[in-house]
């Protein structure tokens, strides 16, 4: 069965520090992978997606993610976090005709 695991429920970083949010997936075939961001009380916005090709994917707001098939991972990174990046981040895997979401990682940014 398809599944997504985000092992970190809550992460706190200082503004300007680097960030890596972890995502592991379980899927039988080549996965379609997504990262979404959600500000409090709002809908989700797509940061980036991976379907095929280059395993390092660039997204909006300076985020990138790397697909590693051997580790079944699709971790999200940002070299320097801004206070406005504080939000909840969801990883999702697509299979058949629907998305399976992870439980999310809440990012807190200290000045």
The Cα 94–Cα 2 span in angstroms is 9
Which residues lie near another protein (CB under 8 A)? 4, 9, 32, 36, 41-46, 49, 51, 90, 94-99, 101-104
Is residue 17 within 8 Å of 28, Cβ to Cβ?
Answer: no
* Closest CB to another protein among residues 15, 73: 73
Q: Which is nearer to another protein, 3 or 84 (CB)?
A: 3
Instruction: Indicate the residue among 19 and 99 with the shorter CB distance to another protein.
Output: 99
Q: Are 25 and 33 in contact (CB under 8 A)?
A: yes
Of 93, 94, 104, 99, the residue nearest 37 (C-alpha): 104
Smallest distance, Å, CB 15 to another protein? 26
- Least Å from the CB of residue 44 to another protein: 4
Instruction: Judge whether 21 and 105 are in contact, CB under 8 Å.
Output: yes
CB of 3 to another protein, least distance (A): 11
């Amino acid at each position: 069965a398809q599944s997504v695991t985000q092992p970190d429920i809550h992460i706190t970083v200082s503004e300007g520090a680097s960030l890596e949010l972890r995502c592991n997936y379980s899927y039988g075939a080549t996965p379609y992978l997504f990262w979404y961001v959600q500000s409090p009380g709002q809908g989700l916005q797509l940061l980036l997606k991976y379907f095929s090709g280059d395993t390092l994917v660039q997204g909006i707001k300076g985020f990138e993610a790397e697909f590693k098939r051997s580790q079944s991972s699709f971790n999200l990174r940002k070299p320097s976090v801004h206070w406005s990046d504080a939000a909840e981040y969801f990883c999702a895997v697509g299979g058949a005709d629907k998305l399976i979401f992870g439980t999310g990682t809440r990012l807190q940014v200290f000045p």
